[in-house]
Amino acid sequence: MNDSSVFPEVLTVAEIADYLRVSETTIWRWCSTGKLPAFRVGRGWRVQRSDLEQHISAQKRKNVVTSDAIPPLPSGLIARR
């Protein structure tokens, strides 16, 4: 079995939802708002695999937390001994 049969070049909403473990409604919303690049086929949405991979990579970069991004705790919240 090659990769193209497991992960086709064009994915359906159901395939993406299953892969990301989110609801199909979430994927439909992402497609209709443009958060995830997609195109219509009849009444359904389709997403190119490369666009999904780019979306996932962008979300990973966006969600990386650095020590600079974490504000210090207010002094009143620090436990003292």
Residue ranges per structural domain of the chain? 3-56
Let me know if domain 3-56 sits in CATH 3.40.50.720. no
**pLDDT tens sequence across 9-25:** 999 999 999 999 999 99
**pLDDT tens sequence across 26-70:** 999 999 999 999 999 999 999 999 999 999 999 888 877 665 666
The more confidently predicted of residues 11 and 76 is 11
The more confidently predicted of residues 76 and 36 is 36
Distances from the Cα of 75 to the Cαs of 28, 43, 70, 79, in angstroms?
A: 45, 56, 15, 9
Q: What is the pLDDT of residue 1?
A: 43
